[in-house]
Structure formats: structure tokens, C-alpha cells
Amino acid sequence: MIYNAPIKDMLFLLNECFGLDTVRALPGNEEVDTDLLETILEEAGKFCSTELLTINQAGDEHGAVHADGAVTTPPGFKEAYAKFVENGWTGIDSNPEHGGQGLPKVLHVLIDEMLGATNLSFKLYAELSRGAYHLLDHTASDEIRARYLPNMVAGTWSGTMCLTEPHCGTDLGLLTTKAVPADNGSYRISGAKIFITSGDHDLTENILHLVIARIAGAPLGTHGISLFLVPKFLVNDDGSLGERNGVTTASIEHKMGIRGSATCALNFEEATGYLIGEKNRGMAAMFKMMNIERITVGMQGLGFSEIAYQNALAYALDRHQSKAPAPRPDDSKASDPIVYQPEVKRQLLTMRAQIEGARALAVYTAMHADIMEKSSDKKAANDAKDLVALLTPVIKAFFTDLGMSSTLSAQQIYGGHGFVREHGMEQLVRDCRITPIYEGTNEVQALDLVARKLTGSTGEFADRFFAEWLAFAKKNKDAAATTAMQHLIEATAWFRERHESDDAAVRGAATQYLRLFALAIIGCMWTKSVAAMKNQEGGFYAAKRKVARFYAEQVLPETGSLLATITGGDAALADFEITDFSD
């Protein structure tokens, strides 16, 4: 397989489309400039292509192994992780107070795309650590932060998120893991957790588990959940590692994909844990990490889309089969590259148009995440917070759906060669398949969007957001984007009319609404991109204008059919009774 980080497109978005002025004006970003970002992106791309992609297939074939109570990673992972840490990739956007580089989140988001594209199994060993770090930095006491965070930033310790239990998936209010107060101010944590990404491995000296549990007497449901830090090894007062805590690995999952990543079932047997944040406020604290992970998982989907597109394009340019429609590239040949077949060309352009538009949405959102975290302007920070909240479920769900459709399209372009292991397409499909499922299924993301983000203060912000982008599309005379935004606004009104009176209709149309939302706002991202190019000349800009036109004419019209399904299809869903499935 091949992978060339799309740095030129990334830099176009950073420098020309959205510009760095707003990010550079934030405290701590004064030295951030184009040269710095370009250097870091190039180094990240090189590391991903030369160190991670080269061990991805072997990691899939070997897998993580659980034996004698311990988990070992696939061959090459320990060496790659040592280089990963040595090169400073574990602390890109971490606080300099803990040894981090304090660089913008928008940079980290683009690096996330590269990592997800080239070796998701490897990436996952460090990915949850970043989320755990930011949760602790935001919520934990000064003592906890000083004791644990420097080693997390250094990459010598890693982190996990322990939510799910055997009897409850998304419905975390059903959890049974319990926390009993100890005499020294800590708690004794007992229970079982499943599907714990990187729950055990041999890459770091210690693993810090963030565990949700219920203290005796706490209310039932999610309102009675507290959050605890449970290290694999206890930490002595001098910072050295002490005795093994009461955390054991019962098993690892045998999975369809990402086999090099250890997904563990963990048992907590009166393990020592430390309360993070307030009692019974664990879910509120955990959402800090969950929202980071949801955007991160979205970038995994975008990474899969990019590497699938690159390899499908390379194959289509090289594979000769059948004659192309007139005019043929070479009439003297018995066959032509399949890229000249209109259907293959259409599939490639469909991938590219959505990938580049999605990347623009990611950069736009990540820049607002930087504003949310660092701006001294309270209104700007609050508006940015609302924007990130609004777009998080869209990025998670649409990007991972795009990852699946792109990997399947790439496999289809390869034909029979895409079904066998040698070319790597079938591994992309298998590895990507988890992304629409974990960190809240895409259906859950859609429900979050329509039930929470379209109402209250966030709903008021959404109205302003829609109005601003509709006005922008009109100002730039983009008829396709204008129509799509009008479809989105009409669908939003439909949801609000039924929010209180017809919950089943709202839930039944949520997934279609999220897709309509994504397609429409990505249409506006293309409007923004075209406007930013102005009279720029050269092959890069000419091709991008053509891709923008393709998106407008061949992808964006789907918003019309989605609107029709949302507003006119609820009765057909409601009229079919559950008992009808047996008839």
C-alpha cells in the first residue's frame, strides 16, 4: 500500500481558506506560523508512511496476544512506539507545564488523520492517553495533575477510558461497578469492564484507567455515577512505581479488524482508585474525554477515506482492462487504464470531493476548539464551544460513514484483487468497520444532534450558524450550497415541530438529518474554499475548482431526497408494527 500525507491540501486550508490569524492571536500561539506547521506536518507524514504503514499489515496478521495474564503488542510496535515518544508526538497539544508542546489543536487533528490512515491499531495505544490527559488536566486536583500528567505527556504512561460493562453498552446508567470509600481518602473499585481499548499492553510502564463507578448510596442512573483514576501500578510519593493494583486482564477480544490493538476485558478487584472531580458528577467529567474522542474517531474515518482513495486511484491508473470511451488515451493499445471508465472516475471523484470537503470542516471545527480553550474573549469562547458541540456528532458520524463508503468503493475499484489480502483493501474495510460503532454509535450521534443540539441555547446558536452560512452561500452566488442550507433549515423546523409531540418520528429520522446536515455544511466549506482561491492559477487550484463543481452537482443534490424522506416518510415507519416483522 501507499500513503502520501495530503499536506498541500492541509496547508491550503490552514493558510488560504481559513487563515492562521485567529489561531495565532490566541495566548501561547504567538510563535505558530506556516513554516512551523508545514515542518511538523511533513515530519508527521514521513513518520506515518515509513514507520507505521510498514508494520500495519504484519500487526493485523499477528495481532495482540494475551497470555499468562499479560498482553503483548505485535512485532515492530514497541520499536515504533519508542520512536513515536522520542519524536515528541505524545505531547503535541499538551500543556507545557507538564512537558507538552502546547501547539494548536487544529494541528493535532490533522496529525490524527495521518495516524488513522496508516495504522489505527498502533494509534489507539496513544489515542486514549491524549483524551485521558485532557480530562485530568481539566478536572483533577493539583496533586493528581502533578503526579500523573508529566509521565502521560512523556508517553511513558498511557491512559484508558473504562465505561462499558458486560450487561450495558451505551446505557451507562445500568452499570454495577462499585466504589467503596477507604480510610486514606481513596476508594476501592470493584467490577468488570469490557471493550477497553489499550486496556493492557507492553508499550508503557504504567496504564492509568479512568473508571466510572457508583458510590454506595448514590442515585440510580447516570446521575449517580462518579469518576475514578485507577492506575495499573500504584505510584509512590516520590513518583516511582509501587505495587501492582487490583486490575487484571481477563481476556482480549478477537475482532474483525484493528487486530493489533488490544481491546480488553478488565476486572477490578478492590483496586485503589482516586475520585476525579465531584461525587456523582462522573459523566459530566467523562464527557470532556468522550467529546475529544468522538472528533478523533471522526478523523480516523477521514484517514481511512484518504488512504483508500490514494490506493484506489493508483490502482485505477495502472490497471489496464477494456477500452475507454472515445476519445481513448491511446488507440493503439488493446485496453486502457480503468480510471478512464466513467463509473470508476465517478467513484474516485465522489471520494475525493467528500474527503476534501470533510477535511475543511475538520480544520474549521478544530480552529474553534482552539478558540474555545484559549480565547480571553468570553463571547468568542462560548460561541466556539457551542460550535464544537454542534459539529462533534456530525464529524464523528459522517466522517466514519465516509470511511466505510470510501474503503468499500476502493475495494470495488480493485475488483477481485480488493477481496484478497495482498493489496490491503480488505484490511482497510475490516479496520474501518469499528469506527461507526465505538465512542457512541453513529445512530446515537444522530440522536444527540436532534435531541440536544437543536434545542435550548445550543439550538439558538444553531439557528445563527445556519443563517450565517446561508448568507455566505448566497453572497458567493453558490446556488447548490444555498439550496442545501435551505433544505437543512426546513428539516430543522420539522424536527422542532415534532420534538415534544412525536418522539418516535424524531428518532426515526435522526440519521437522515445528520447526513443532510453534514452534506449541506460541507457544501458551504466548498463555497469557502472556492472563494479563498479567488483568481489563483495552477493545476492545484484548477483541479480543486473542478472537484468543488462535482460536489455541487453530483453529491449535494442528495439533500433534497433526504429532506423528502425526513418530512414525508415518518408515517410509513410508524404504521409498521413490531408484530408485523413476524408476518
479: left (phi over 0), alpha (psi -120 to 50) or beta: alpha
| pLDDT tens for each residue of 423-447 | 999 999 999 999 999 999 999 999 9
Instruction: Provide Rg for the chain, Cα atoms.
Output: 24
The pLDDT value given to residue 457: 82
Tell whether the model's pLDDT for residue 169 goes beyond 90: no
Give strand ranges (E) for 351-490: none
Is 490 annotated in the active site? Answer: no
Share of the chain above pLDDT 70, in %: 100
Average pLDDT over residues 388-407: 97
Distance CA 513, CA 460 (A): 18
Distance of CA 415 to the CA centre of its chain: 29
Tell me which of 306, 356, 426, 439 is the catalytic residue.
439
Question: At residue 378, does pLDDT exceed 80?
Answer: yes
Residue 534 has a pLDDT of 87
pLDDT of residue 500: 79
Contact status, residue 445 vs residue 347, Cβ threshold 8 Å: no
Q: How many CB atoms lie within 10 A of CB 69?
A: 9
Q: Which of 205, 212, 122, 120 is nearest to 174 (CA)?
A: 212
pLDDT tier at 161 (50, 70, 90 boundaries)?
A: very high
The pLDDT confidence band at residue 243, using thresholds 50, 70 and 90, is very high
**C-alpha closest to that of 137 among 200, 234, 60, 208:** 208
pLDDT above 90 (res 501): no
pLDDT band at residue 455 using 50, 70 and 90 as cut-offs: confident
Confidence band (pLDDT; 50, 70, 90) for 289? confident
Q: Is the pLDDT of residue 563 over 80?
A: yes
Of the pLDDT bands very low, low, confident and very high (cuts 50, 70, 90), residue 144 is: very high
- State mean pLDDT over 82-106: 95
Least confidently predicted of 30-39, 112-121, 500-509: 500-509
How far apart are the C-alpha atoms of 162 and 525, rounded to whole Å?
36
CA distance 64 to 75: 9
- What's at 238, amino acid-wise? D
The pLDDT score that the predictor gives to residue 94 is 94
User: Rounded mean pLDDT of 104-117?
Assistant: 97
pLDDT of 174: 84
- Give, in degrees to the nearest 5, the angle at Cα 257 between 255 and 263: 50
pLDDT recorded at residue 274: 98
13-70: per-residue pLDDT in tens? 999 999 999 999 999 999 999 999 999 999 999 999 999 999 999 999 999 999 998 9
Cα–Cα distance measured from residue 234 to residue 214, given in angstroms and rounded to the nearest whole number: 22
Residue 319: per-residue pLDDT = 96
User: Mean of the pLDDT values across residues 549-577?
Assistant: 94
pLDDT of residue 456: 81
Give the range with max mean pLDDT: 19-28, 111-120, 322-331, 497-506.
111-120
Q: Considering the entire predicted model, what is its pTM?
A: 0.96
**Is the Cβ–Cβ distance between 374 and 28 less than 8 Å?**
yes
